[in-house]
Amino acid sequence: MKEKLYKLIFMVLAFASLLFLLGIVFILFKESLPIFSKVNIGKFIFGRFWYPTYSPPEFGILPLILASAWVTLGAILVCVPLGVGSALYLNELAGPKQRAILKPLVELLASVPSVVFGFFGMVIVTPFLQKVFNLPTGLTALNASLVLGVMATPTVCSIAEDALNYVPKSFREASFALGADRWQTLTQVVIPAAGSGISTAIILGMSRAIGETMTVLMVAGGAAVIPHTFLEPVRPMTAAIAAEMGEAPVGSSHYHALFAIALILFLVTFIFNIIAEIVSRRFRIKLGLSG
Protein backbone atom coordinates (compact mmCIF):
# COMPACT_ATOMS: atom_id res chain seq x y z
CA MET A 1 0.00 0.00 0.00
CA LYS A 2 2.73 2.36 1.07
CA GLU A 3 4.59 1.53 -2.12
CA LYS A 4 1.59 2.42 -4.25
CA LEU A 5 1.25 5.68 -2.40
CA TYR A 6 4.85 6.61 -3.17
CA LYS A 7 4.40 5.77 -6.82
CA LEU A 8 1.29 7.90 -6.92
CA ILE A 9 3.04 10.83 -5.28
CA PHE A 10 5.90 10.69 -7.78
CA MET A 11 3.49 10.40 -10.67
CA VAL A 12 1.54 13.44 -9.56
CA LEU A 13 4.74 15.47 -9.16
CA ALA A 14 5.99 14.27 -12.53
CA PHE A 15 3.02 15.91 -14.15
CA ALA A 16 4.16 19.30 -12.85
CA SER A 17 6.12 20.04 -16.03
CA LEU A 18 3.10 19.27 -18.17
CA LEU A 19 0.96 21.36 -15.86
CA PHE A 20 3.29 24.36 -16.13
CA LEU A 21 3.53 24.07 -19.89
CA LEU A 22 -0.24 23.88 -20.20
CA GLY A 23 -0.49 26.73 -17.69
CA ILE A 24 1.76 28.88 -19.83
CA VAL A 25 -0.27 28.10 -22.95
CA PHE A 26 -3.53 28.79 -21.12
CA ILE A 27 -2.35 32.10 -19.67
CA LEU A 28 -0.95 33.27 -23.00
CA PHE A 29 -4.22 32.54 -24.78
CA LYS A 30 -6.41 33.90 -22.02
CA GLU A 31 -4.52 37.17 -21.69
CA SER A 32 -4.03 37.76 -25.39
CA LEU A 33 -7.47 36.93 -26.77
CA PRO A 34 -9.05 40.28 -25.70
CA ILE A 35 -6.79 42.19 -28.10
CA PHE A 36 -8.15 40.26 -31.05
CA SER A 37 -11.62 41.58 -30.37
CA LYS A 38 -10.21 45.06 -30.97
CA VAL A 39 -7.71 44.43 -33.74
CA ASN A 40 -8.18 41.70 -36.26
CA ILE A 41 -5.50 39.09 -36.23
CA GLY A 42 -4.26 39.84 -39.75
CA LYS A 43 -3.91 43.53 -38.98
CA PHE A 44 -2.16 42.69 -35.74
CA ILE A 45 0.46 40.53 -37.40
CA PHE A 46 0.86 42.47 -40.65
CA GLY A 47 0.20 45.96 -39.34
CA ARG A 48 3.13 48.22 -40.09
CA PHE A 49 2.80 50.54 -37.11
CA TRP A 50 3.36 49.81 -33.44
CA TYR A 51 2.13 52.82 -31.49
CA PRO A 52 0.58 51.19 -28.46
CA THR A 53 0.43 54.33 -26.32
CA TYR A 54 -0.97 56.75 -28.91
CA SER A 55 -4.63 57.60 -28.99
CA PRO A 56 -6.00 55.92 -30.88
CA PRO A 57 -3.32 53.25 -30.44
CA GLU A 58 -1.99 51.18 -33.33
CA PHE A 59 -1.17 47.55 -32.74
CA GLY A 60 0.73 46.32 -35.77
CA ILE A 61 3.62 44.07 -34.85
CA LEU A 62 5.19 43.59 -38.27
CA PRO A 63 8.14 45.81 -37.35
CA LEU A 64 8.73 43.72 -34.24
CA ILE A 65 8.44 40.43 -36.12
CA LEU A 66 10.81 41.65 -38.82
CA ALA A 67 13.22 42.92 -36.20
CA SER A 68 13.26 39.50 -34.55
CA ALA A 69 13.73 37.86 -37.94
CA TRP A 70 16.61 40.14 -38.93
CA VAL A 71 18.38 39.82 -35.63
CA THR A 72 17.92 36.06 -35.57
CA LEU A 73 19.14 35.74 -39.13
CA GLY A 74 22.19 37.84 -38.29
CA ALA A 75 22.84 35.77 -35.21
CA ILE A 76 22.64 32.58 -37.28
CA LEU A 77 25.26 33.94 -39.65
CA VAL A 78 27.53 34.31 -36.65
CA CYS A 79 26.73 31.28 -34.54
CA VAL A 80 26.47 28.60 -37.23
CA PRO A 81 29.99 28.95 -38.60
CA LEU A 82 31.44 29.54 -35.15
CA GLY A 83 29.47 26.83 -33.41
CA VAL A 84 29.66 24.14 -36.06
CA GLY A 85 33.29 25.03 -36.85
CA SER A 86 34.20 24.77 -33.18
CA ALA A 87 32.36 21.47 -32.88
CA LEU A 88 34.26 20.08 -35.86
CA TYR A 89 37.49 21.33 -34.40
CA LEU A 90 36.76 19.74 -31.02
CA ASN A 91 35.68 16.49 -32.60
CA GLU A 92 38.20 16.15 -35.36
CA LEU A 93 41.34 18.07 -34.58
CA ALA A 94 41.63 18.56 -30.85
CA GLY A 95 43.42 15.81 -28.97
CA PRO A 96 41.89 14.40 -25.79
CA LYS A 97 43.93 16.75 -23.60
CA GLN A 98 43.06 19.84 -25.58
CA ARG A 99 39.43 18.81 -25.60
CA ALA A 100 39.37 18.34 -21.85
CA ILE A 101 40.20 22.05 -21.58
CA LEU A 102 38.31 23.51 -24.54
CA LYS A 103 34.94 21.86 -23.94
CA PRO A 104 34.56 23.19 -20.40
CA LEU A 105 35.50 26.64 -21.67
CA VAL A 106 32.74 26.48 -24.28
CA GLU A 107 30.31 25.41 -21.56
CA LEU A 108 31.53 28.30 -19.47
CA LEU A 109 30.72 30.71 -22.29
CA ALA A 110 27.21 29.23 -22.27
CA SER A 111 26.82 30.09 -18.62
CA VAL A 112 27.60 33.81 -18.99
CA PRO A 113 24.32 35.57 -18.06
CA SER A 114 22.53 37.28 -20.92
CA VAL A 115 22.48 40.59 -19.08
CA VAL A 116 26.28 40.52 -19.01
CA PHE A 117 26.28 39.96 -22.77
CA GLY A 118 23.93 42.89 -23.10
CA PHE A 119 26.15 45.02 -20.91
CA PHE A 120 29.21 44.00 -22.89
CA GLY A 121 27.40 44.86 -26.12
CA MET A 122 26.48 48.29 -24.80
CA VAL A 123 29.85 49.32 -23.45
CA ILE A 124 32.24 47.64 -25.89
CA VAL A 125 30.54 46.69 -29.15
CA THR A 126 28.40 49.81 -29.47
CA PRO A 127 31.17 52.42 -29.57
CA PHE A 128 33.18 50.11 -31.81
CA LEU A 129 30.39 49.82 -34.40
CA GLN A 130 29.62 53.52 -34.17
CA LYS A 131 33.19 54.32 -35.06
CA VAL A 132 33.64 51.71 -37.79
CA PHE A 133 30.43 52.49 -39.64
CA ASN A 134 30.25 56.13 -38.66
CA LEU A 135 26.73 55.80 -37.26
CA PRO A 136 24.58 58.09 -35.13
CA THR A 137 24.08 55.17 -32.73
CA GLY A 138 25.83 51.83 -32.33
CA LEU A 139 22.71 50.24 -30.86
CA THR A 140 21.59 48.46 -34.01
CA ALA A 141 20.36 45.18 -35.44
CA LEU A 142 23.96 44.40 -36.32
CA ASN A 143 25.06 44.84 -32.74
CA ALA A 144 22.26 42.60 -31.48
CA SER A 145 23.08 40.00 -34.15
CA LEU A 146 26.73 39.87 -33.20
CA VAL A 147 26.15 39.60 -29.48
CA LEU A 148 23.28 37.11 -29.87
CA GLY A 149 25.35 35.08 -32.28
CA VAL A 150 28.19 34.75 -29.81
CA MET A 151 25.68 33.88 -27.12
CA ALA A 152 24.09 31.10 -29.16
CA THR A 153 27.43 29.68 -30.28
CA PRO A 154 27.97 27.37 -27.29
CA THR A 155 24.46 25.93 -27.70
CA VAL A 156 25.10 25.16 -31.36
CA CYS A 157 28.58 23.87 -30.61
CA SER A 158 27.56 21.46 -27.83
CA ILE A 159 24.66 19.92 -29.72
CA ALA A 160 26.60 19.66 -32.98
CA GLU A 161 29.49 18.05 -31.11
CA ASP A 162 27.16 15.45 -29.62
CA ALA A 163 25.89 14.69 -33.12
CA LEU A 164 29.43 14.28 -34.44
CA ASN A 165 30.24 11.94 -31.57
CA TYR A 166 27.41 9.66 -32.63
CA VAL A 167 28.95 9.10 -36.06
CA PRO A 168 30.44 5.60 -35.82
CA LYS A 169 34.20 5.31 -36.07
CA SER A 170 33.79 2.68 -38.74
CA PHE A 171 32.48 5.31 -41.21
CA ARG A 172 35.72 7.24 -40.91
CA GLU A 173 37.85 4.14 -41.13
CA ALA A 174 36.06 3.00 -44.27
CA SER A 175 36.71 6.37 -45.87
CA PHE A 176 40.38 6.39 -44.90
CA ALA A 177 40.75 2.87 -46.22
CA LEU A 178 39.56 4.11 -49.61
CA GLY A 179 42.37 6.64 -49.71
CA ALA A 180 40.48 9.77 -48.66
CA ASP A 181 42.35 12.27 -46.55
CA ARG A 182 41.01 13.69 -43.29
CA TRP A 183 39.42 16.74 -44.86
CA GLN A 184 37.65 14.70 -47.51
CA THR A 185 36.49 12.24 -44.89
CA LEU A 186 35.20 15.09 -42.78
CA THR A 187 33.33 16.90 -45.53
CA GLN A 188 32.08 13.93 -47.50
CA VAL A 189 31.42 11.30 -44.82
CA VAL A 190 31.29 12.70 -41.32
CA ILE A 191 29.36 15.93 -41.92
CA PRO A 192 26.67 14.30 -44.12
CA ALA A 193 26.29 11.49 -41.59
CA ALA A 194 25.89 13.98 -38.76
CA GLY A 195 23.87 16.32 -40.99
CA SER A 196 20.50 16.17 -39.32
CA GLY A 197 22.13 16.25 -35.90
CA ILE A 198 23.86 19.46 -36.92
CA SER A 199 20.55 20.79 -38.26
CA THR A 200 19.04 20.16 -34.85
CA ALA A 201 21.83 22.22 -33.35
CA ILE A 202 21.14 25.07 -35.74
CA ILE A 203 17.39 25.00 -35.13
CA LEU A 204 17.84 25.04 -31.37
CA GLY A 205 20.39 27.84 -31.76
CA MET A 206 17.79 29.85 -33.70
CA SER A 207 15.17 29.09 -31.10
CA ARG A 208 17.51 30.36 -28.44
CA ALA A 209 18.24 33.53 -30.42
CA ILE A 210 14.58 34.32 -31.09
CA GLY A 211 13.65 33.94 -27.45
CA GLU A 212 16.60 35.81 -26.01
CA THR A 213 15.48 38.94 -24.25
CA MET A 214 17.94 40.94 -22.22
CA THR A 215 20.62 41.20 -24.87
CA VAL A 216 18.33 42.53 -27.58
CA LEU A 217 16.58 44.75 -25.06
CA MET A 218 19.89 46.39 -24.25
CA VAL A 219 21.70 46.55 -27.59
CA ALA A 220 19.16 46.44 -30.44
CA GLY A 221 18.32 50.11 -30.10
CA GLY A 222 14.59 49.78 -29.53
CA ALA A 223 13.08 51.60 -32.54
CA ALA A 224 9.79 49.97 -33.50
CA VAL A 225 10.04 50.65 -37.21
CA ILE A 226 10.47 48.32 -40.12
CA PRO A 227 14.21 47.84 -40.56
CA HIS A 228 15.87 48.36 -43.96
CA THR A 229 19.49 47.68 -43.10
CA PHE A 230 21.43 45.98 -40.33
CA LEU A 231 22.73 49.34 -39.24
CA GLU A 232 19.43 50.65 -37.90
CA PRO A 233 18.03 50.37 -34.40
CA VAL A 234 15.28 47.76 -34.13
CA ARG A 235 12.87 46.44 -31.51
CA PRO A 236 12.52 42.65 -31.55
CA MET A 237 9.45 41.03 -30.01
CA THR A 238 11.12 40.00 -26.77
CA ALA A 239 12.51 43.49 -26.26
CA ALA A 240 9.08 45.03 -26.81
CA ILE A 241 7.53 42.80 -24.16
CA ALA A 242 10.28 43.39 -21.64
CA ALA A 243 10.47 47.13 -22.20
CA GLU A 244 6.75 47.88 -22.26
CA MET A 245 5.16 45.45 -19.83
CA GLY A 246 6.27 47.55 -16.89
CA GLU A 247 4.30 50.52 -18.17
CA ALA A 248 1.27 48.79 -19.62
CA PRO A 249 -1.66 48.97 -17.18
CA VAL A 250 -2.94 45.50 -16.33
CA GLY A 251 -5.99 44.68 -18.41
CA SER A 252 -5.39 47.42 -20.98
CA SER A 253 -5.23 46.73 -24.71
CA HIS A 254 -1.50 47.32 -24.60
CA TYR A 255 -1.17 44.66 -21.87
CA HIS A 256 -3.15 42.15 -23.92
CA ALA A 257 -1.21 43.03 -27.07
CA LEU A 258 2.05 42.26 -25.30
CA PHE A 259 0.69 38.90 -24.23
CA ALA A 260 -0.31 38.29 -27.83
CA ILE A 261 3.28 38.95 -28.90
CA ALA A 262 4.43 36.49 -26.25
CA LEU A 263 1.95 33.96 -27.59
CA ILE A 264 3.34 34.29 -31.10
CA LEU A 265 6.86 34.07 -29.73
CA PHE A 266 5.94 30.96 -27.77
CA LEU A 267 4.34 29.31 -30.78
CA VAL A 268 7.36 30.04 -32.97
CA THR A 269 9.83 28.58 -30.48
CA PHE A 270 7.46 25.70 -29.81
CA ILE A 271 7.39 24.84 -33.51
CA PHE A 272 11.16 25.14 -33.71
CA ASN A 273 11.59 22.80 -30.77
CA ILE A 274 9.18 20.26 -32.22
CA ILE A 275 11.01 20.36 -35.56
CA ALA A 276 14.31 19.93 -33.74
CA GLU A 277 12.88 16.95 -31.88
CA ILE A 278 11.64 15.30 -35.07
CA VAL A 279 14.91 15.91 -36.91
CA SER A 280 16.98 14.58 -34.04
CA ARG A 281 14.81 11.49 -33.70
CA ARG A 282 15.26 10.82 -37.39
CA PHE A 283 18.99 11.30 -36.97
CA ARG A 284 19.14 8.73 -34.20
CA ILE A 285 17.13 6.25 -36.19
CA LYS A 286 19.35 6.80 -39.21
CA LEU A 287 22.45 5.97 -37.20
CA GLY A 288 20.70 3.03 -35.57
CA LEU A 289 20.54 4.59 -32.11
CA SER A 290 17.47 4.08 -29.99
CA GLY A 291 14.81 6.70 -30.67
Site residues (CB under 8 A) for another protein, limited to 20-39:
20-24, 27-28, 30-31
Per CB under 8 A, the list member of 152, 204, 226, 257 interacting with another protein is 204
The span of 44-52, 69-77, 130-138, 255-263 binding another protein (CB under 8 A) equals 255-263
Q: Does 102 bind another protein (CB under 8 A)?
A: yes
Q: Does 62 bind another protein (CB under 8 A)?
A: no
Tell which positions 148-167 bind another protein, by CB under 8 A. Answer: 150, 153-154, 157
Per CB under 8 A, the list member of 77, 108, 285, 289 interacting with another protein is 108
**Shortest Å, Cβ 58 to another protein:** 22
Q: Does 128 bind another protein (CB under 8 A)?
A: no
CA dist 37 and 244 (Å) reads: 21
Per CB under 8 A, the list member of 34, 57, 195, 211 interacting with another protein is 211
Confirm if 206 and 198 have CB atoms less than 8 A apart. Answer: no
Q: Please name the helix (run of DSSP H) or strand (run of DSSP E) that holds residue 279, with its range, or none.
A: helix 253-286
Q: What is the DSSP letter of 221?
A: B
Contact code string over 71-100 relative to another protein, x by CB under 8 A: ----------xxxxxx-xxx-xxx-----x
Number of residues that bind another protein (CB under 8 A): 92
- By C-alpha distance, which of 27, 291, 75, 29 is closest to 204? 75
Q: Does 247 bind another protein (CB under 8 A)?
A: no
Q: In this complex, which beta carbon is closest to another protein, that of residue 182 or of residue 228?
A: 182
Q: In this complex, which beta carbon is closest to another protein, that of residue 119 or of residue 166?
A: 119
Per CB under 8 A, the list member of 33, 41, 77, 115 interacting with another protein is 115
CA dist 81 and 199 (Å) reads: 12
Neighbours of 55 (CB within 10 A): 5
DSSP conformation letters of 124-176 = IIHHHHHHHHT-S-S-SHHHHHHHHHHHHHHHHHHHHHHHHHHS-HHHHHHHH
Instruction: Tell me how many helices (H) and strands (E) the chain has.
Output: 15, 2
- 108 burial via Cβ count (<10 Å: 0-12, 13-18, 19+): exposed
Q: Does 214 bind another protein (CB under 8 A)?
A: yes
The span of 34-42, 165-173, 211-219, 227-235 binding another protein (CB under 8 A) equals 211-219
